[in-house]
Amino acid sequence: MGKRKNILQFWVLPQAKVTELIEFDLERSAWKLRVAAPPLENKANEEIIRWLSKQVGCPKASFSILSGEHHKSKKIAHECEFCNDGTLQELLKKIQKN
């Protein structure tokens, strides 16, 4: 089985007290994510990748920012041999409920 590439869309709210998934925003077709890092010197982007890696249980190297590196709207790719898009979306829904 080869690696599967999943694309996730996020709307990022930096400088939060904790990094947490808020909800899926239907208007933006993106997950709203509070990020406990400032939007300076790539710190928010690094925190997003760290948080995703921890939540999903995959290495940080399996995530990459495709677009929005300097914007609140971010498109993030996840390449993994064991996850498919449905699995990743289900994980995000579970994370949101916790």
Identify the CATH number of the domain in which residue 13 sits.
3.30.1200.10
Task: Specify which residues 12 forms β-bridges with.
Answer: 33
Residue 83 CB-half CA count within 13 A: 22
Prediction pTM value: 0.84
Strand duo 30-34 + 63-67: pairing = unpaired
Residue 2 has pLDDT above 60, yes or no: no
Q: Structural domain of residue 16, as residue ranges?
A: 4-97
Rg (CA), the chain: 13
- The per-residue pLDDT for range 20-36, each reduced to its tens digit, is 999 999 999 999 999 99
- The per-residue pLDDT for range 36-79, each reduced to its tens digit, is 999 999 999 999 999 998 888 888 999 999 999 999 999 999 88
- The per-residue pLDDT for range 7-24, each reduced to its tens digit, is 889 999 999 999 999 999
Check: CB of residue 61 under 8 Å from CB of residue 46.
Answer: no
Quote the pLDDT of residue 98: 54
Q: How many domains does the chain have?
A: 1
